[in-house]
Amino acid sequence: MVRTLAFFGPVGTYTEEAAILYDPHAELKPFPTIGAVAQAVSSAVTDQGVVPIENSLEGSVNHTQDLLVRQSELCIYNEVALPIRHCLMTKPGMDASDLQVIYSHPQSLAQCREFLERTFPNAQQVASLSNSTAVTDMLASELPAGAIAPQRASELYGAEIIDRNIQDNPNNMTRFVVLALYDHPPTGKDKTSMCLSFNQDGPGVLYDALGEFAKRGINLVKIESRPTRQSLGQYIFLIDCDGHREDQPLKEAIEVLNGPNSVLTVLGSYPRWEAGA
């Protein structure tokens, strides 16, 4: 049975590329926002959905994190890590020296700032809603224009790539998560994402909670705070660790941390992404 897979669109974006990498045989359905992807999954319009959650340069995607915390019916089923390789493209046959405007998503413009300042110091940089939309903005421009976008966008819209790998940092990667109504069975090479909150704040509460992982030899690969949205100065803690929620000793740590003063909610256990696996 072909899996239906929502993704944060439109077509020609890095999220679509991640969705294809995750399941090249799925029926892909673009949605205009991360929230719309989540709604498609929670209402069973699609089987799963792909959204960005973290970039190696720009940090976490807060909208995705907040959505996972608020919508308890959603789980992380899998993850995909994608190298971000920006291409500069124009209308076919255009001379690069003529460019007056360059379109792209604001993050992509920021990730190519040094290249743009060095190569096109006089070109106006214009933000588009997505990297894919940047290509259609470029094609519709009355001024000589370029666009920064994935290679796939050039194939979809008939643009000509005039330069590749123009990102300033070669280590630019984005992590995407696959949303579903359930998480993944244990594979032996798993990660678990969790949300930790406290009923009462006080000295050492976070230290003591993290100690439950340390004394069981559980490796925490990421921890960060997000506002609770209930009161200024109140936070929840988002944690990624090695292991599956059904495996000991992580299962025991989860049980201990669901105690009188702390609540640990599992957002999903899923296989660690391995390129080429």
- The distance of Cα 153 from the centroid of its chain, to the nearest Å, equals 19
Where does the pLDDT of residue 253 fall: very low under 50, low under 70, confident under 90, or very high at 90 and above?
Answer: very high
Distance (Å, rounded) from C-alpha 20 to C-alpha 6? Answer: 11
Segment 212-225 mean pLDDT: 95
Q: Are the beta carbons of 269 and 190 closer than 8 angstroms?
A: yes
What is the CB neighbour count within 10 angstroms for residue 68? Answer: 23
pLDDT in tens, 227-237: 887 777 788 99
pTM score? 0.90
Q: Are the beta carbons of 147 and 78 closer than 8 angstroms?
A: no
User: Which residues belong to the active site?
Assistant: 174, 176
Polymer length of the chain: 277
pLDDT in tens, 76-118: 999 999 999 999 999 999 999 999 999 999 989 999 999 999 9
Domains in the chain, CATH or no CATH each: 4-83+172-180 (3.40.190.10), 87-164 (3.40.190.10), 190-271 (3.30.70.260)
* pLDDT on residue 1: 57
Distance (Å, rounded) from C-alpha 40 to C-alpha 29? Answer: 10
